[in-house]
A = this chain, B = another copy of it.
């Protein structure tokens, strides 16, 4: 048991490192819900999330409106979000056309999905992973030619397994991390799109991926590490264990959805991103600064429950509330 003490101690000395929680409910959450949330409600969500201390929000996706009418108002949300002080505004971008719109919109970052599962890539994007890597390189050239500073982040989905293909080889995940960075991505994240990951696998794969990313150095623009984000679903109850395992491996950036909504339309049964309020609680309980206002996040969850009445919400902490020990500390 003592074998883990030095590393444990070392990891925990870093507990004071802040972590960034990125709210992705307005994109990953809403894209999995058939109904279209009115723009006015999305704007309330956006403002409440910012008021709760969230400083990075994925506000939508530049996909063709006919494919995802729920997100057709993304440009308007970007405009509103850019007016909020200190907020990093990110959008999902499925292809070069979407990248053009993201660059025009003035968003600070674009998230490009790349499936580690060949089968999921074809089902979700109708392209092979390597086709997508070539497109990422094209988007980087486009971005640089436009003189834009819109950061390019690749979200490596199904990195821990796939409902269609089953097992996804870690070697393939690591190959694609390298390929995405070689193609010009400034940042790569690993996503458990379908809720297959376990904490041992998460810690091991992130540790190996950090090794792959290290030679690329930090992002010259802001000094951020290249391997950044952990994106976890709570489909089988391991979402928060996986967030902890990723944090132990050195991950300091997590995608979350208020109320634990979300999933992947091409991954049956994969409902439920880890809830923003649950991850805020987990990180706060470990003494990791996030700048988040817990009560404001719970209030936002209540508002989202109202806007999405009838949709299943998930998450844990909203039931029991903070422990007495944290109320004392606060």
A259: min CB distance to chain B, Å: 13
Q: A237 touches which one: B194, B286, B315 (CB < 8 A)?
A: B315
Are B237's CB and A4's CB within 8 A? Answer: no
Which A residues between 209 and 261 are near B, CB-CB below 8 angstroms?
A: 210-211, 214, 225, 227, 234-238, 240-241, 243-245, 248-251
Please indicate the chain B residues that have their CB under 8 angstroms from the CB of A198 in the complex. 282, 285-286
Give the oligomeric copy count: 2
Contacts A240-B240, A241-B241; A285 near B201 (Cβ below 8 A): yes
A interface majority secondary structure: helix
Tell me the bound Cα distance from A235 to B278 in angstroms: 12
A163, B244: Cα distance in complex, Å: 24
Is the beta-carbon distance between A286 and B200 smaller than 8 angstroms?
yes
- Chain A residues 194-211 with CB under 8 Å of chain B are 194-196, 198-201, 203-204, 206-207, 210-211
A12 to B206 alpha-carbon distance, docked (Å)? 14
Report chain B residues within 8 Å CB of A278: 237
Residues of B contacting A309 with CB < 8 Å? none
Q: Which residues of B contact A225 (CB under 8 A)?
A: 1
How many angstroms between the C-alpha atoms of A227 and B6 in the bound complex? Answer: 20
Given contacts A4-B10, A195-B320, A204-B8, contact A238 B237 (CB under 8 A): no
Asked if A66 lies at the interface with its beta carbon under 8 angstroms from chain B, I say no
Binding site for B on A (CB under 8 A): 1-8, 10-12, 15, 161-163, 166-167, 194-196, 198-201, 203-204, 206-207, 210-211, 214, 225, 227, 234-238, 240-241, 243-245, 248-251, 269, 278, 281-282, 285-287, 315-317, 320, 323-325, 328
